[in-house]
Chain A
Amino acid sequence: MKRFWAWGALIIGLLYFILPLIGMTNFSLKMRRGVYSFDAYAKVLADTRFQETFTYSVTLALLTILVGVFLVVPTAYWVRLKLPFLRPYVEFVTLLPLVIPAIVVVFGYIRLYNTSSWLPLTGTALGTDVLLVAGYTMLALPYMYRAVDTGLRTIDVTTLTEAAQSLGAGWFTIITRIILPNVLVAVLSGAFLTFAIVIGEFTMAALLNRPAFGPYMQVLGANRAYEPAALAVIAFAITWGCLGLIQLVSRFQKSAQRPV
């Protein structure tokens, strides 16, 4: 009886999640009247706006990952090694982007860094890109920091540092050649999640007026019928791919740590 209810609950839950996915896939294939075809995908992929915005968002995602790694890894390492009493505070700060809605943060950017301010970042395209990367780094900060901090927990930071120092390594060498390789799986997990978040992000890019993939999707959605469904399928595949890669690298680590 219990099992019956459990299966029932699971099947209803699955239906709710599978139907929209079927719906969007089905719709994306129906552009040509009467038959299933990949016309919507062909049309989307051939659109130069799609290519431009997608490339732009991929570039920004990679930059965000780079900035995030260079910001988070040394900080998390340093806090663990030298300033352990600061850990709760740093952790709290890294969780703040979950509390403050992105739309509020970007509102602050627009007011704080406008053309008449002390740091007129929104005045130029490059400056706005810098601002957008900074904003995305903040969005990804909770996930990136937690991933790296968890990774650092599994290694003996103090001993590794002292061993490296006694062999004459400087801080740069320690971080890039000792710490980073040891938390690589954690960093990769954070990086893939960052990619999944940034690639379709809408609010910040739209309000900062940058030609990113998220706003492009929204505009297309307001004007077309079948192409948005194709974009949704593509976006879902990207999210799925990123999360799948996280599973893959963490499994890889588990098998690597298993004693032979």
Chain B
Amino acid sequence: MTSPNPPTGPFPARRMRLPFHWLGILPFAVFVLLFLIMPTMKIVIGAFQRPDGSFTFQNIGNLFTPSILAAYGISIRISMASAFFGCLIGFGTAAAVVLGGLPRAIRGPLMTFSGVASNFAGVPLAFAFLATLGPVGFITVFLQTELGINLRMLGFNLLSFWGLTLTYLFFQIPLMILIITPALDGLKKEWREAASILGATNAQYWRMVALPILTPAILGTFALLFANAFGAVATAIALTGSSLSIVPILLFAQIRGDVLGDPHLGYALAFGMIAVTGVANTVYIWLRARSERWMR
């Protein structure tokens, strides 16, 4: 500030205390800076640098090679598919419990279970699915011996696009249930009554009243689920080893042993991940703010 401190304001003493106020959040600010902001910035800046430190877009350009594009492609498709089915099934389940006339007693256990299942990700989740749908898994063997159905012959493989999507759904669906249930609770009885007084059928009520109100919440959660699946590393590695080339696995291998042979391409790969999850989360935050207008 260049202007001299004007003797205005009735509280000169408060002016003196101002820096002290800010000291209170100093530990937090320093911690976040050291262990979140600066490491992330290091990656972001590194994505735009040559090895000698000068500025370049070349690293980002180098991402557009067939193998890396394919990794992003399959990552995005898995995230899309698991977010889509997560939203659909999660919405169906939540609607069945909130609006479908099921006994209230189901609700508490369902929410608790959703809390557990949405946190049951990572390595153990992969084990659970391997033990169930893997080559010698519970369901695979059951279908084979009891019904004579060979899943593998039918083209199902757990270590594939659909296998990974099916596994991700185990934490995607509960997350959807946890987020969408409050939104469904927010649908006011009066709206349905008003619609039916005006002669709307059940389908019309859903199509013209309920769904438009819920759309921001549903799309927002879709974006959140997408980001959630896109950043999932542990489940994918424990499930597939490195046989499926998706972005998190590629980045993991790059950090471990520079498989791309170019550290700055690694930065660019990580930057791409931040960009994708960043866009998805911005969409989520924006849509959540919109959906909350109706929830008051």
From known contacts A74-B27, A232-B128, infer whether A104 and B102 are also in contact, taking CB-CB under 8 Å: no
Chain B 130-172 interface residues, beta-carbon cutoff 8 Å to A = 130-133, 136-139, 169-170
From known contacts A20-B132, A207-B252, infer whether A104 and B43 are also in contact, taking CB-CB under 8 Å: yes
Residue numbers in A under 8 Å from B237 (CB-CB): 202, 218
Interface SS majority for chain B: helix
Let me know if B96 and A10 touch, CB within 8 A: yes
Between B43, B123, B241, B270, the greatest number of chain A beta carbons within 10 A of the residue's beta carbon is seen for B123
Residue numbers in A under 8 Å from B208 (CB-CB): none
Contact of B24 among A78, A221, A239 (CB under 8 A): A78
State whether the Cβ of A236 lies closer than 8 Å to any Cβ in chain B.
yes
Let me know if A202 and B233 touch, CB within 8 A: yes
Segment at the A interface, from B51-59, B109-117, B190-198: B109-117
Report the minimal beta-carbon distance from A184 to chain B, rounded to whole angstroms.
20
Report the minimal beta-carbon distance from B60 to chain A, rounded to whole angstroms.
15
Chain B 215-255 interface residues, beta-carbon cutoff 8 Å to A = 227, 230-231, 233-234, 237-238, 241, 248, 251-252, 255
From known contacts A99-B281, A111-B42, infer whether A207 and B127 are also in contact, taking CB-CB under 8 Å: no
Once bound together, how far apart are the Cα atoms of A105 and B116, in whole Å? 25
Once bound together, how far apart are the Cα atoms of A3 and B113, in whole Å? 22
A186-220 CB contact bits vs B (8 Å, 1 = yes)? 00000001001100111100110000001001100
Segment at the A interface, from B33-41, B61-69, B180-188: B33-41
Let me know if A100 and B124 touch, CB within 8 A: no
Once bound together, how far apart are the Cα atoms of A220 and B15, in whole Å? 61
Once bound together, how far apart are the Cα atoms of A21 and B125, in whole Å? 9
Let me know if A104 and B131 touch, CB within 8 A: no
Contact of B120 among A10, A74, A135, A236 (CB under 8 A): A236
Closest A residue to B21 by beta carbon equals A82
From known contacts A71-B31, A200-B122, infer whether A97 and B273 are also in contact, taking CB-CB under 8 Å: no
Residue numbers in A under 8 Å from B106 (CB-CB): 10
State whether the Cβ of A31 lies closer than 8 Å to any Cβ in chain B.
no
A170-198 CB contact bits vs B (8 Å, 1 = yes)? 00000000000000000000000100110
Let me know if B25 and A83 touch, CB within 8 A: yes
From known contacts A10-B96, A10-B97, A104-B270, infer whether A217 and B38 are also in contact, taking CB-CB under 8 Å: no
Q: Footprint of A on B, CB under 8 Å?
A: 21-22, 24-25, 27-28, 31-32, 34-36, 38-43, 46, 89, 92-93, 96-97, 100-102, 106, 112-113, 115-117, 119-120, 122-133, 136-139, 169-170, 173, 227, 230-231, 233-234, 237-238, 241, 248, 251-252, 255-256, 266, 270, 273-274, 277-278, 281
**Can you sample 8 A-B contacts with CB below 8 Å?**
A22-B132, A23-B138, A103-B255, A109-B35, A137-B31, A201-B122, A202-B238, A243-B112
Closest 4 CB pairs of A and B: A108-B39, A6-B100, A23-B132, A101-B231
Q: Footprint of B on A, CB under 8 Å?
A: 2-3, 5-7, 9-10, 13, 16-17, 19-24, 26-28, 71-72, 74-75, 78-79, 82-83, 86, 90, 93, 96-112, 131, 134-135, 137-138, 193, 196-197, 200-203, 206-207, 214, 217-218, 221-222, 225, 228-229, 231-232, 235-236, 239-240, 243-244, 246-247
